[in-house]
Structure 1
Amino acid sequence: MKTTKAVRTPGGISVRLDVRSAVVVAVFVVAALVASVVLIGTGDFPIPAMDVLRTLAGQGDPGQEFIINDLRLPRVLVGLLVGGALGLSGALFQSISRNPLGSPDVLGLGQGSTAGALAMIVLVGGSATQVALGALVGGLVTGFAIYLLAWKRGVHGYRLVLVGIGVSAFMTAINGYLLTKADFVDAARATVWMTGSLDGRDWTQVWPLLVLFLVVIPLVAVYARPLRMLEMGDDAAGGLGIRVERTRLLLLVASVFLSAAATAAAGPVSFVALTAPQIARRLTKSPGPNLIAATWLGATLLIVADLASQRAFGADQLPVGVVTGVIGGVYLLWLLVTERKAGRI
């Protein structure tokens, strides 16, 4: 059965459309939006879905407008943006490294962001803004360190993963040390942050993430085709005229920024970056990087996990990072077993 078709744009440019991938992305978009509406209506003051839609359209009563627009909508938008950022970051890392384990969770970027946040909490007693800035800087510094340590006449995918695992262990040790230096109040605050949560998120977290997407998405779109060539190997990509190291470096920078910004906004939400690209690849059955599908699946996973947390546990809801950790841990075990049976690890 034919799964691709040529589509001609109004400007006369012919592009190839993968029908299956387009359908999968459309399903993810609808699922994310439906889950978002249900999540906005969930809480101590339940609001029916139709009332949520009316309020979002500007036709709700003042009480509902306050609850939705000021309290719940920013949280949902942060969840969508953080999930999308993690899904896209994971897809970029896995395509660059050509390894299903090549994600920010495994390579230590989350641990680096955590170290930056813990330093602000334990050593400085910083505010929420300072903690977020520390997480962003920690992630960026860790990503730069991994790239330098993995460099040897270029950056090989498996070397990047192995160096990242080593850096992850080192940063985990640093985080443990920082926790031992903290007093009781700071240690409790740090532990809550380290679980990854969307609680208390407001518009101050939405705008930076939105700006980041507006900057990164065009860059990723420009290099989507070279990234597809990189998955064929450095020699093949170079033979097709791709500037391999420049492309890899730019996309790594974009991926590190996405991961660090997502961690700064919601804490280290685990396993979304690892699972979303792999599930998207299996559903689309496309060999390419599946960047759009991974982005929307990441957003859907995080929103559904937050919704499940609120519906299953009510007032004693688990932080969303705990839910994604449970789901992702099971998936990681399955992935390791599958890769081992296939002889790839």
Structure 2
Amino acid sequence: MTAAVLRAATARRRRLVLAAAAAATVALFVARALLGDYQIAAPDAVRILLGADLGPASFLFLETKLPTALVALAAGLALGGSGGAFQSMLRNPLASPDVMGVTLGASAAAVTGLVVAGLTGAQVTAAAFAGGLAVALGIFVLSGGAHSASNRIILIGLGLAFALQAVIHWVLIRGSVYQARDAMRWLSGSLNAMTWDGVSRLWLAVAVGLPLLLLLGRPLRLIEVGDDLAGGLGIRVPRVRLAVLLVVVLLTASATSVAGPIAFVGLLAGPIARRLNAGRSSLPLAALVGAAVVLGADLLGDARWPWGPLPVGIITGLLGAPMLVALLLRSTSEEDIHG
């Protein structure tokens, strides 16, 4: 088999995998919008979208089910793409915004704004962006800049994450019982009570940030091979890393401010996308996998459990914890082999 034929077969396989991931994401989106405690038939959903008034079905579909599905899709795309970008940039499968504390920085700022300052809507998004950006910049400054080892960056991020957890707990203690209850529901990563205002804010951020992130995919793949090689090919590595950092913070903070901190989506999406893509990174595939994870987890959490519905963040946390342990064990084993 010639090199050209092999490259063509590899490219065809990647297109098929991407198409399959897109089809699975669309199917999960439709299932999330139609299924649940109150199920809506697909023909009725089409009639509602075309303007028909079907009474309670119209209200439930347009005001609860469809906004929830749209937020789950957008949050999954944002978090999955962000996780894949961080892992490529730092060449480490443990590097995701939620593990490194960027999501917690956005959460701490958003909770402080909600409980202490009474912020709402776009103000919460702005506070979350500022908090996530401050943590991301703090990680890179404390680790020694763009050329620091990825393990050092991740460990500093984990340390800041523990500190931010303490900040969140302190803010909850300072707030009233009702404020603390609402904040705890939000911190669980719940997609309940989504509004069209939240849908529009999150999709605006995704419409701006995700294309920018995909444009950075090629230089990120070169950086993944090595900074020296990327620089030799004309890639300005510090600028690319700063651009990735800003876009990831925008996407992560926007998703967090609307849906709460949905745990481990970035951590799950990157390795799964690599496995599906024959070991190569793919930001579009990572974004689709993230969307499928959030939609599937929210659909699973909305099942008829004896104790009631589970927030999507609880489901992704239960899925992500074993993945984190597996990646840590694998990383330790590789270090033992090479050193």
TM-score, normalized by the shorter chain, greater than 0.5: yes
Partners of 1:241 and 1:234 in 2: how far apart? 11
Moved more, 328-337 or 299-308: 328-337
Cα distance in 2 for partners of 1:153, 1:293 equals 26
Name the CA distance, whole Å, in 1 between partners of 2:37 and 2:145: 55
- Aligned partner of 2:284 in structure 1 is 292
- Which of 305, 315, 321 aligns to 2:297? It is 305
State the 1:301 CA deviation.
0.6
Question: 1:118 touches 1:175 (CA, 8 Å); kept in 2?
Answer: yes
User: Aligned equivalents of 1:300 and 1:344: distance in 2?
Assistant: 35
Alignment partner, residue 5 of structure 1: 8
Aligned partner of 1:333: which letter?
V
User: How many angstroms does 1:18 deviate by?
Assistant: 1.9
Distance apart, 1:50 and its partner CA: 4.0
TM-score by length of 1: 0.88
Selected match of 2:161 from 139, 160, 168? 168
Residue 159 of structure 1 corresponds to which residue in structure 2? 152
Letter in 2 for 1:166: G
In the alignment, structure 1 segments of 5+ residues that lack a partner are 7-16
Which one of 89, 92, 95 corresponds to residue 96 of structure 1? Answer: 89
Give 1:313 deviation, angstroms: 2.4
Matched, 1:246 2:239: yes
Q: Report SS of the residue matched to 1:307.
A: helix
Residue 110 of structure 1: which of 103, 112, 123 is its match?
A: 103
Partner residue in 1 for 2:36 = 43
TM-score normalised to the size of structure 2? 0.90
CA contact (8 A) 2:70 2:199 kept: yes
Seq. identity, %: 38
Structure 1 residue 327 and structure 2 residue 330: aligned? no
Query: 2:178 is matched with which residue: 163, 175, 185?
Result: 185
1:153-193 per-residue CA deviation (whole Å, 9 max, x = no partner) reads 74443332222122112212222222222232222122111
Are residues 1:206 and 2:178 paired? Answer: no
1:339 alignment partner AA: S
What CA deviation, in whole Å up to 9, does each residue of 1:129-159 have, x standing for no partner? 5444432322222222223223347444333
Tell me which moved more, 151-160 or 211-220.
151-160
Counterpart Cα distance in 2 of 1:292 and 1:127: 31
Cα distance in 2 between the residues matched to 1:3 and 1:41 = 42
State the Cα deviation string for residues 15-46 of structure 1 (Å, max 9, x = none).
Answer: xx722222222122111111222222223432
Output aligned runs, 1:134-153, within 5 Å: 134-152=127-145
1:227 corresponds to: 220
Tell whether the 8 Å contact from 1:78 to 1:206 is kept in structure 2 after alignment. Answer: yes
- 1:34 and 1:60, CA in 2 relative to 1: closer, same or farther beyond 3 A? farther
Q: 1:336 aligns with which of 328, 333, 339?
A: 328
Runs of 4+, deviation exceeding 4 Å: none
Q: 1:304 and 1:218, CA in 2 relative to 1: closer, same or farther beyond 3 A?
A: closer
Q: Deviations over 1:272-321 (max 9, x none)?
A: 0111111010111142x310000011001100111111124288201111
Q: CA deviation at 1:339?
A: 2.5
1:317 aligns with 2:309: yes
- 1:342 match: secondary structure: helix
Q: Which of residues 102, 105, 117 in structure 2 aligns to 1:124?
A: 117
Q: Say if 1:38 and 1:49, in contact at 8 Å, map to a contact too.
A: no
Q: Distance in 2 between matches of 1:73 and 1:153?
A: 41
Which letter maps to 1:216? G
Instruction: Give the 3 Å change call, closer, same or farther, for CA 183–153 of structure 1 in structure 2.
Output: closer
Contact 2:262 2:312 in 1 (8 A): yes
Aligned length in residues? 333
The residue type equivalent to 2:319 in the other structure is I
Contact 1:21 1:286 (C-alpha < 8 Å) held by counterparts: no
Cα distance between partner residues in 1 of 2:110 and 2:8: 48
